[in-house]
Structure 1
Amino acid sequence: MTDPAATTTTAAPPSNGSRGEGLDAHLVIDRGAFRLDVTLTAAPGDVVALLGPNGAGKTTALRALAGLAPLTGGHLRLDGARLERTPPESRPVGVVFQDYLLFPHLSALDNVAFGPRCHGATKAEARAQAATWLDRMGLADHAGAKPRRLSGGQAQRVALARALATHPRLLLLDEPLAALDARTRLEVRAQLRRHLSDFEAVAVLVTHDPLDAMVLADRLVVVEHGRVVQEGTPSDIARHPRTDYIAQLVGLNLYRGQADGHTVHLDTGPAITTTERLSGPVFVAFPPGAVTLHRDRPTGSSARNLWHCEVAGLETHGDQIRAGLTGDIPLAADLTTVAAAELDLHPGAQVWATVKAAQTHAYPA
């Protein structure tokens, strides 16, 4: 196993680059049939989240930044210094691993002090620095605790303190909240956001959880099949998804078609009426909550979009029921448990789905 502190060390600031330049990376890695080709840039103070389905290349990109996966092409610059040939232990990079990888035989204090000790600090100096970091994390009372005595949230904060104690210029977080239960995750997410807001260098976060990404990151980079398919602010990504994966991630129905005024003729399926007036290739999106279901064809409805569908499946989604529909158009619809019962919804049930034009959003493809 990789030494957990090997990628939480830091080298002296490069003399040939400004500490304010941030990250400039073009990560190219060839592994047989898989090729990673991802460009990442970020200014100091930025938090960038890498999102994507399993096997997309997110973790490979993170390992390349840490120096654990060598590049076969491209470049990696941090604050103006080239790092392609710099070994992991000499990079100004800190890593918070998914399972934290704390030293089980060391106290929280000595786990955090390990990095400064590796850089020449005396034991007293390193422990003083570690105590300061634990205090900042709200863990001063747990300095003497071994990892097995810490809760998941406490262990996560110790791992973060250990990564930050070496003053990295690039902080990498690999699914930092994945090991936490739902209740702890809510609290630790808010704490992590606060700590990242105070971090003056670049942070790159890998996560499968869209809420983690939306809350923690300033910018999202979505990777599919080893390539960037979309990037932007969380609000822009949520409002303008460009792939099915992203639409599912942010909870939207997404379609592609040709716009002619207020009508979008889908590539497969019927037309959708929108409020936007556009021409040419477009995407159309709307949330499952915008869909109203009827057992009989509605009359007198103000909704401009009406489709005949069949219920393919039902699942609990938060405090609602999400119905997966096929037929005139494949879509997801959210409704209350009471509404689902009143409609007697079940797989195979025939329904009519309506969506108001004002609840759709069309934008150029």
Structure 2
Amino acid sequence: MRRTALVISIIVGLSALATAPAGAQQRYPSSAGELAVETVAGGLEHPWGLAFLPDGRMLVTERPGRLRLVGADGKLSAPLSGVPNVTGRGQGGLLDVVLDPQFAQNRTIYLSFSEPRANGNGTSVARARLNAAGTGLEGTSVIFRQMPTINSNMHFGSRLVFDRTGALFVTVGDRYSQRDQAQNPANHIGKVLRISPQGGAAPGNPQKQGWQPEIWSIGHRNVQGAALHPETGQLWTAEHGARGGDEVNTPKAGLNYGWPVITYGIDYSGAKIGEGTSKPGMEQPLFYWDPSIAPSGAAFYTGPAWPTWKNSLFVGALAGQMLIRLSTQGEKVTGEERLLTNLGERIRDVRQGPDGFLYLLADAASGKILRVRPAR
């Protein structure tokens, strides 16, 4: 059954910023009380992905091709060795990072990145071990390559999420110039993929005739936010539209999410894209934004700091320069709250920390890791 897309604007006056001297804790209103925003670490060049180690330290990627460890005191390590070479142009570079579900035993991590190749580049996934000293990666190997190779510096997608079976979801973009290929299941352009930790198709993929075996769903533009629902284990994604039509979806095996045949957005030129907003055999989004917020990073909240926000989906906004909270019930979005609207930062990634607070990556030439907690 197709789901009706929601456009909800339940915005709780969230634009006032308390006056404070430079460098002081910043405070912002929310439906769950005042929020404090603190800088954990700075001096990161376009940080893109964040992962917490079991000991509370963080791994953070910088788009030009650096991976760093960040201590609880906010101190940055030197760049780790063993990171694969990247195409660090446009939207490309070193992108997401995720820990293996058995990291405590095997110290394995996964990186997504734009890989330089003959005649172009593409989204690839590498697997490696973090050495005991925390100074580098060992045994780095590429386990997946998006095909075909395209000469473009746009739309790499690139979020990594392990599901409950141990398979790895990989989002890959339509490469901007190849958007029609998002409807072609014979390639990896504009898809959500699901691979094994060693690479190759994961058991349980749809395996439809004419589909590449790694494909989970088709018809995606550029998914840069992805998270598993904490109760159902269902994948939720946040996807860039063009001018309007940013989407939240719950990609299901073998289904078609419409891009570029159906969309709630228009082209940057103002021209119409595709055939309209619906078509039989193509899924409707759970929620969409028009105008665009440019969503990147997504995390469900399960911590104790804000009990009323349990199972809310938090999504970062790049162009929108804010943090979005979507309240959910089952597979429905029931409300939207716009937070930190005066923060003035492009939010690239969102994670829940082991302390139950929210951590954000502010994407800039001198970017930051920010912590959001209840104000005292």
TM, length-normalised to structure 2: 0.25
Q: In terms of Rg, which structure is larger?
A: 1
- Name the one with the larger helix percent: 1
TM, length-normalised to structure 1: 0.26
